[in-house]
Amino acid sequence: MKQPAEKTIKKLYRYIFLNTYTWLWTVVILAALVCGMISWVHYQYQELSEKTSFNLGEIRQARVDLAKGFLYLNLTNDPSTIFNRDEGLALINQSINTIEYILDETDQERDSLFSLHVIDVKTRDVFEADIQAFKKCLADWNGARTDKAAATSLRISYAELERQAEQMDINVLLSLKNRWNELDDVFIIVLWTAAFLLMGLCVLIFVAVRAREKSAVDLRESEERFRTIIENSSAGYFKIDLDGKYRVVNRAWLLMHGYDSVDEVIGQPFSITQVDDALDGARQKVDGSLQGDIVRSGEFSRLCKDGSIGYHIYSLTPVKKDNQIVAVEGFLIDTTERKRAEEALRELNEALEQRVMERTDQLEKANRELKSFNYSVSHDLRSPIRTINGYSQILMEDYGAVMEAEAARLLDRIHSETVRMGKLIDHLLQLSTASNAEMRSAEVNLSDLVQKVDNRLQDENPQVKINFVVAPDLKITADPDLLEILLNNLLGNAVKFSLKKPLPVVEFGVMDGEKGRVYFVRDNGAGFDMTQAQRIFEAFQRVHNSVEFPGNGIGLAIVQRIVKRYNGEIWAESQLDQGATFYFTLKETEI
């Protein structure tokens, strides 16, 4: 329960700080204080100005007495003069003392001439120096009154002192006049500014009053809209008081929990909608929100009126009144159907995972069988071929001289076919490797690898000088073994179909394409008809005569499979007898 003193303080706060009229009177008082301060400053400047004018008058009178005394000195030593020199000296000393007293007084009080800044310290110092010089010359003359040089120095010193005093008098009057003109302008500006500010503040206060009234109306309308939105929202809304009891629920909340009316819920503890094993967690969330935390929970279960269990996600926010937490409000979003769908999806995923495991086992078994087949091809099939090739070679060497020509031709044919069969087995193994071998990643210098393949091809064809053109310093991250197989087939084809040219040229390079870097192998060989472009990548398909250009038609199929394993593309452009260009892209793998 709130204390009376606390209520009194809050009432005073509202009356003082939230009352518009309080602010209005505050503005009026402040304006009066500003005007009074401006008037007081104006009065102070007026008083200082009058004192300055008075001191200037005193200095002028002292100058008149100084001139009178200087006349009494009779510096020309005229015997007929009627003036008394001693009286003149006394008058001069009195005048000098008066001037020095005024200067000392204004310097100590920091007002009059200097406080108004109408004369600077430098001018004062020069004037005082001239006074001291005049006093010295006067003392020198008084010690030797008949000395003409002393009299001349005294005249000059007096003239300089009078000139400096006259200049100071003129400057002070002019500066004082200018200062007052400036101060008058400043006072006028300040007064008008204060007046405009006062009017502006009054207008602002008036606008604030109107805005406050409008805000009150808008607040009532906003509260009404909020109640309407909450009541018609598809999300459940609730409010729990400090005692842990429901105070407000909306229609969606009732539907989620299976209640028919608000009366069944209001005043009941929130535990009636909690599943037993989740009650402690719910209490912790509510208590945390009552301490000022904004709680955003994950999925949570709820107990419905009929005993069934539903699921929802929810949020909790503390409700404050007069800066004190008085309740907790929150929203519920029903996730029961989604929960059921997720459960069904989980079961489906488990079934799919089981099927994937079964298929993986099947694929692993097929790969093992394929490896066994590759081993059989590379060992079991090669053995009889090597035997046939070896015996045919022995027959040629031992009985070639006595063998009939036709028999020798047939035996040579057996030897060449066994060699061709061995190459075909090599290409089949390459085709299997390109399709199924495990890929590894490393940084490969394509330019160096191409140069290595080019050197080997040149060694295999020493009868013809081949002009190889290789783009420098091309690097890629991929499997070095697969890249070497790819380049062996592409560059080997380019050399094979260019050997009949007087100057075979084989080029390897790169260019920018729409999907990144595009590599190419170009030759100036036999070329092919572009209507056959799709066939050349199929295994055992040929577009040239096997007698003129020997081969088994499997090399480009190997190349295509390697490119596809790198999610790349390969295509060709050619004209008959104008050479061919094979383009391919490779998606680099991560190291």
Token reading at 375: 């081993």
Dihedral pair phi/psi, residue 586, rounded to 5° = -135, 130
Sheet with strand 505-513: strands edge to edge:
467-470, 505-513, 516-523, 580-584, 570-574
Report the percentage of the chain scoring pLDDT > 90.
Answer: 6
Report the percentage of the chain scoring pLDDT > 70.
Answer: 78
Split at pLDDT 50, 70, 90, the class of 373 is low
Answer whether residue 15 shows pLDDT above 70.
Answer: no
User: What is the C-alpha to C-alpha distance for residues 310 and 292, in angstroms, rounded to an integer?
Assistant: 28
Split at pLDDT 50, 70, 90, the class of 14 is low
CB 306, CB 222: distance < 8 Å: no
Q: For position 322, what pLDDT does the model report?
A: 78
Per-residue CA distances from 39 to 32, 110, 186, 459 (Å) = 11, 22, 12, 111
Q: For position 523, what pLDDT does the model report?
A: 92
Q: Beta partners for 240?
A: 246, 328
More confident residue, 484 or 170: 484
Q: Mean pLDDT of all residues in the chain?
A: 77
Answer whether residue 12 shows pLDDT above 60.
Answer: no
> Model confidence over 140-152: pLDDT tens digits?
887 777 777 877 8
For 277-312, the DSSP string reads GGHHHHHHHHHHHHTTPPEEEEEEEEE-TTS-EEEE
Which residue from 276, 275, 280, 253 is spatially nearest to 264, judged by alpha carbons?
253
Q: For position 132, what pLDDT does the model report?
A: 84
The CA-CA-CA angle for residues 85, 88, 89, to 5°, reads 90
- H helices of 73-147, where? 85-109, 112-115, 121-143
CB 247, CB 266: distance < 8 Å: yes
The CA-CA-CA angle for residues 440, 443, 444, to 5°, reads 95
Q: Give the residue-averaged pLDDT of 212-233.
A: 78
10 Å CB burial of residue 485 (0-12, 13-18, 19+) is buried
Q: For position 541, what pLDDT does the model report?
A: 62
Split at pLDDT 50, 70, 90, the class of 410 is confident
Per-residue CA distances from 532 to 278, 347, 498, 535, 552 (Å) = 72, 51, 19, 5, 17
CB 312, CB 299: distance < 8 Å: yes
Instruction: Give the pTM.
Output: 0.38
Q: Who's near 247: CB < 8 A, 6+ residues apart?
A: 239, 240, 241, 266, 327
> Model confidence over 227-269: pLDDT tens digits?
787 777 778 888 888 888 888 888 888 888 889 888 888 988 8
User: What is the C-alpha to C-alpha distance for residues 8 and 16, in angstroms, rounded to an integer?
Assistant: 12
Q: Give the residue-averaged pLDDT of 446-474.
A: 90
Split at pLDDT 50, 70, 90, the class of 110 is very low
Which residue from 282, 281, 299, 296 is spatially nearest to 339, judged by alpha carbons?
299
Q: For position 20, what pLDDT does the model report?
A: 58
Split at pLDDT 50, 70, 90, the class of 522 is very high
CB 457, CB 488: distance < 8 Å: no
Q: For position 426, what pLDDT does the model report?
A: 64
Q: For position 78, what pLDDT does the model report?
A: 64
Tell me, rounded to whole angstroms, the distance of Cα 504 from its chain centroid.
57
3-state secondary structure of 512: strand
Q: For position 507, what pLDDT does the model report?
A: 94
Q: Give the residue-averaged pLDDT of 274-296.
A: 82
3-state secondary structure of 478: strand
Which residue from 72, 78, 259 is spatially nearest to 158, judged by alpha carbons?
72
More confident residue, 34 or 98: 98
10 Å CB burial of residue 546 (0-12, 13-18, 19+) is exposed
Q: For position 1, what pLDDT does the model report?
A: 41
Q: Which of 90-99, 115-124, 552-561 has the lowest mean pLDDT?
A: 115-124
**How many Cα neighbours within 13 Å face the side chain of 579?**
16
**How many Cα neighbours within 13 Å face the side chain of 208?**
13
Q: Which of 318-332, 518-532, 540-554 has the lowest mean pLDDT?
A: 540-554
> Model confidence over 74-83: pLDDT tens digits?
666 666 665 6
User: What is the C-alpha to C-alpha distance for residues 327 and 286, in angstroms, rounded to an integer?
Assistant: 10
The CA-CA-CA angle for residues 586, 589, 591, to 5°, reads 145
Which contiguous run of DSSP H or E holds residue 518?
strand 516-523
Which residue from 436, 282, 288 is spatially nearest to 370, judged by alpha carbons?
436
Q: Which of 229-238, 431-440, 566-575 has the lowest mean pLDDT?
A: 431-440
CB 274, CB 296: distance < 8 Å: no
Q: For position 24, what pLDDT does the model report?
A: 64
Split at pLDDT 50, 70, 90, the class of 112 is very low
Q: Which of 229-238, 276-285, 361-370, 580-589 has the lowest mean pLDDT?
A: 361-370
Split at pLDDT 50, 70, 90, the class of 590 is very low
| Paired sense of beta strands 505-513 and 467-470, if any | parallel
User: What is the C-alpha to C-alpha distance for residues 342 and 346, in angstroms, rounded to an integer?
Assistant: 6
Tell me, rounded to whole angstroms, the distance of Cα 46 from its chain centroid.
60
Q: For position 582, what pLDDT does the model report?
A: 92
Q: For position 422, what pLDDT does the model report?
A: 66
Token reading at 521: 């192998």
Q: Which of 237-241, 342-346, 406-410, 452-456 has the lowest mean pLDDT?
A: 406-410
Answer whether residue 275 shows pLDDT above 80.
Answer: yes
Residue with tokens 């008083």: 47
Q: For position 545, what pLDDT does the model report?
A: 54
More confident residue, 541 or 559: 559
Token reading at 513: 């394409």
Which contiguous run of DSSP H or E holds residue 330?
strand 324-334
More confident residue, 376 or 503: 503
Token reading at 343: 């459960």
Split at pLDDT 50, 70, 90, the class of 293 is confident
Q: Give the residue-averaged pLDDT of 561-569.
A: 87
Burial annotation 49-87 (CB, 10 A radius, 16+ → b, else e)? bebbeebbeebeebbebbeebbebbbbeeeeeeeeeeee
Q: Give the residue-averaged pLDDT of 167-184.
A: 73
Q: Give the residue-averaged pLDDT of 47-51.
A: 74
